[in-house]
Amino acid sequence: MKKLNCTFRVNVSRLLLVLSLVFIPFSLFAASPLDINTATAAEFSAVMSGVGVKKAEAIITYRDANGPFDSVEQLTKVKGIGNVLLDRNRDLVRVVSEEVVN
């Protein structure tokens, strides 16, 4: 009976470790929305659902060609980014405005 109890505790500990390794990185990204004017392609593809390397690079290319985004909605001007994809990721991204302090 003691061996069974010990095996159970070890398995529960392993399960908790695996779950924490899986879910903690996602919660770190969720705590702070990604600034679409400074994010790298790797950050876009890691944070945004449905955005892989090609779409992430398209966002960077659009930003380099047209300047910084004024709003999150402007992402829909990037080829491959539509309203459905934007709505799915709206809480994960933001535009940080640069305020001039006098």
The CATH code of the domain that includes 60 is 1.10.150.280
Are 25 and 3 within one domain? yes
Q: Which domain does 89 fall in, by range?
A: 32-96
pLDDT tens digits for 23-43?
555 545 556 899 999 999 999
Residue 83: what are its φ and ψ, rounded to 5°?
A: -65, -40
Share above pLDDT 70 across residues of the chain, in percent, rounded to a whole number: 80
Residues 43 and 69 in one domain: yes
pTM: predicted TM-score of the whole model, two decimal places? 0.66
Pair (22, 68) in one structural domain: no
Q: Is residue 47 part of a domain?
A: yes
The answer as to whether 101 is a domain residue is no
Q: At CA 33, angle to CA 62 and CA 68, rounded to 5? A: 25
CB proximity list for 67: less than 8 A, separation 6 or greater: none
49, 81 Cβ separation under 8 angstroms: no
Which SS3 state, helix, strand or coil, does residue 93 take?
A: strand
Q: Indicate whether 102 belongs to any domain.
A: no
